[in-house]
Amino acid sequence: MEKYNVLIIDDEKEIVDLIRIYLRNEGFNVYAGFSGNEGLKILENKEIHLVILDIMLPEIDGIQICRMIRETNNIPIIMVSAKSQDMDKILGLGTGADDYLTKPFNPMELMARVKSQLRRSFYLNTHAQGNRDRNIIEISGLSINKSSHSVTFLDKEINLTPTEYEILLVLASNPGTVISAEEIFQSVWKQKYFDSNNTVMVHIWRLREKIETNPKAPETIKTVWGVGYKIDG
């Protein structure tokens, strides 16, 4: 397995030490920043493949850091927080995080999510090229290259996070089919879905911001109320 570099940005030393032990046991290189500025400095100087980011931080909070990372980088971000309210989760995901865990969490669950995000972001991206045409989906102005994980909309390149890409791929691979939030969640996150889970809704909103002319009146990713989402063929 390739040696991935994981950055933990958290001001709680005990939490950082615990996560570091589990990550190193799984073969990852681990960097730690105990403040927002320290974490951003590491990002500038090291090749980081995934960030575990706490929301409550000194100097700059995790929400601001997530926004700053997303201005230039689409690496996976797993946000962790002692806050468990839905609005905090929606805010975290809405700023560009790929996943969200509430403290205290099971370290093994965090490891599973780290591996899932890295697999989605890097492993799937390194498959052999094969036949180019078979690896391209063209639908509703979208062009999705499954080999390079690149997406264009109306000939304009769109920068998506790994999670956004996987959701879009699920919808585009099933043109005209309404896919429920539960089906999308289980397909992308490989976890049990709960009715109160707003994760898919937030990611759909972020996707629409990137590929819709008017995200409030979407023409590409359509909502079928009470059922799910679809992209027409």
Cα 40 from Cα 215, distance rounded (Å):
31
Amino acid making up residue 80: V
In this prediction, residue 132 has a pLDDT band, given cuts at 50, 70 and 90, of very low
pLDDT digits (tens, 9 = 90+) for 51-101: 999 998 988 999 999 999 988 888 999 999 887 666 667 777 888 889 988
* Pairing of the two strands 5-9 and 150-153: unpaired
Task: Say yes or no to pLDDT of 35 above 70.
Answer: yes
Mean pLDDT of the chain: 86
Q: What is the mean pLDDT of residues 222-226?
A: 91
Domains and CATH numbers, the chain: 5-125 (3.40.50.2300), 131-230 (1.10.10.10)
Show the tokens assigned to 232: 């027409």
Q: Which percentage of the chain shows pLDDT scores above 90?
A: 46
Q: Identify the pLDDT of residue 205.
A: 93
| Statement: residue 128 has pLDDT above 90 | no
| pLDDT digit string, tens, across residues 182-198 | 999 988 887 777 765 68
Rounded to the nearest 5°, which phi and psi values hold at 167? -65, -45
Cβ proximity of 221 and 212 under 8 Å: yes
**CB under 8 Å to 73, separation ≥6 — which residues?**
43
Q: What is the DSSP string of the chain?
A: ----EEEEE-S-HHHHHHHHHHHHHTT-EEEEESSHHHHHHHHHHS--SEEEEESS-SSS-HHHHHHHHHTT----EEEEES---HHHHHHHHHTT-SEEEESS--HHHHHHHHHHHHIIIIIGGGS----TGGGEEEETTEEEETTTTEEEETTEEE---HHHHHHHHHHHTSTT--B-HHHHHHHHH-S---TT--HHHHHHHHHHHHH-SSTTS-SSSEEETTTEEE---
Tokens found for residue 210: 């990137």
* 148: confidence class by pLDDT, cuts 50, 70, 90: confident
- Residues with Cβ < 8 Å from 36, sequence gap 6 or more? 9, 57, 58, 59, 60, 61, 62, 64, 65
Cis peptide before 104 (omega within 30 of 0): yes
Residues facing residue 158 across a β-bridge: 151
Query: Which of 183, 177, 217 lies closest to 200, judged by CA?
Result: 183
What is the pLDDT at residue 195? 64
pLDDT of residue 38: 94
Write down the pLDDT at residue 125: 52
Judge whether residue 111 has pLDDT over 70. yes
Q: Label residue 13 exposed, middle or buried (CB < 10 Å: 0-12, 13-18, 19+).
A: exposed
